[in-house]
Amino acid sequence: MRIIPSKRPALRRPALALTTILVLALAAGCGSSSSSSDAKVDVVASTDVWGSVVEHVAGDLAGSEVQITSIITDPSADPHSYEASARTQLAVSKADLVVENGGGYDDFVHRMLKAHQKSGVTVLDAVDISGKKASGGAELNEHVWYDFPTVAKVADRVASALSKADPDHRATYEKNAATFRGQLEQLEQTEATVKAAHAGVGVAITEPVPLYLLSACGLVNQTPADFSEAVEEGTDVSPQVLQQTLALFSGHRVQLLAYNEQTSGAETESVLKAARQAGVAVVPVTETLPAHEDYLEWMRGNLAAVQKALS
């Protein structure tokens, strides 16, 4: 398992001077920049997760008719504090379609769009498309890419946007989106299978990243909210809350720990150690795609890991 320091190092690239950006823009017009192809539609996704969803909808047209640029692909980059490079700003300035997560997860997209003020760009916000709202005083869980119905809605909206920008290939985009929806439905069927066998089983998390998937599997998060929220925000966990969390394992109240392996610190290391000492299965999860995997492969692997842990 690759452990990254607790306060996730943001991928910080200071904004370049305006003259430098202009030079890059001119060079891109003559060179091979990924954001300046002859494709009919330029798409920018805030993370490689949503970039992969766009690729499924574009299918064989990705790279020829549809140029896709994913801004965050580095697992150590923190979307909350990301600072765009000149190349990224150039890509956004040329975009016909932007796919962002929303919910405060990737606000850097709004800042770049506002800076360029390009007219005619279509912006898809996954959290808005999901229709999910915060309730009961709790913060909204913005990690909606772990919610398959939301991903299906986003894929449909992507297909509509690509069809509008490139009507000659509408049938292909719609067909690819339908195929992708069918594959997502298979993942939902797997969740239903897990739920039928393990509904009500207690689980623990270090961050709320995989909660939509775990809940769809019928599993119940027993982690104190103050613990997972503190880890997510990079703030200290109180000794009392930490002890409450560790007691989940020593008291055998949970059967698995979903551990965000892209974030590590003293508190999460203590929880990981407690889980292993108690014989509780650990399921590593991430916020970005593992190397050489697309969205569907990644989620199949996550569900397989959950099934194995519960068995």
* Residue written as token pair 């965050």: 72
Task: Identify the weakest region by mean pLDDT among 146-150, 198-202, 264-268, 302-306.
Answer: 264-268
CB 68 within 8 A of CB 58: yes
DSSP 3-state assignment of 192?
helix
Please, is 234 exposed, middle or buried when counting C-beta atoms within 10 Å of its C-beta (0-12, 13-18, 19+)?
A: middle
* CATH code for the structural domain at 18-184: 3.40.50.1980
**pTM (two decimals):** 0.86
Tell me the pLDDT band of 16, cut-offs 50, 70 and 90: very low
3-state per-residue secondary structure call for 127-151: HHHHCCCCCCCCCCCCCHHHCHHHH
Average pLDDT over the chain, rounded to an integer: 87
Question: Does pLDDT of 285 surpass 50?
Answer: yes
Measured CA to CA in angstroms, residue 102 lies from 95, 130, 131 at distances of 18, 10, 12
State the fold for domain 191-310: Rossmann fold (3.40.50)
Q: Which residues contact 5 (CB under 8 A, 6 or more apart)?
A: 264, 265
Give the model's confidence band at 80: pLDDT under 50 very low, under 70 low, under 90 confident, else very high: low
Give me the mean pLDDT over the 273-278 stretch.
97
**Residue 45 contacts residue 282 (beta carbons within 8 Å):** no
User: Which run of H or E residues covers position 159?
Assistant: helix 148-165
Q: Which amino acid is at 123?
A: V
Lowest mean pLDDT among 7-11, 102-106, 264-268, 275-279: 7-11
8 A C-beta contact, residue 70 and residue 47:
yes
pLDDT tens-place string over residues 193-205: 999 999 999 999 9
Check residue 23 and give its pLDDT.
34
For the chain, what are the domain ranges?
Answer: 18-184, 191-310
- Are residues 284 and 98 in contact, defined by beta-carbon separation less than 8 angstroms? no
pLDDT range class, residue 121, cuts 50, 70, 90: very high
For the ranges 3-17, 57-71, 224-238, 292-306, the lowest mean pLDDT is seen at 3-17
The reported pLDDT for the residue numbered 12 is 30
Task: Give the list of residues 6+ apart from residue 203 with CB closer than 8 angstroms, or none.
Answer: 214, 219, 220, 221, 222, 254, 255, 256, 257, 258
Whether the per-residue pLDDT at 218 is higher than 90: the answer is: yes
At how many degrees (to 10) do helices 225-233 and 239-250 cross?
A: 120
pLDDT band at 76 (very low <50, low <70, confident <90, very high): low
pLDDT interval class at 216 (50, 70, 90): very high
pLDDT confidence bin for 259, thresholds 50/70/90 = very high
For residue 154 the two structure tokens come to: 């986003």
In this structure, of 17-26, 81-90, 97-106, 179-188, the range with the lowest mean pLDDT score is 17-26
Please indicate whether the domains covering 18-184 and 191-310 agree at the CATH topology level: yes
**Residue 122 bridge partners (DSSP):** 97
Helix (H, G, I), strand (E, B) or coil at 257: strand
Q: Report the distance separating Cα 206 and Cα 249, nearest Å.
A: 13
Q: Fill in the DSSP letter of residue 83.
A: B
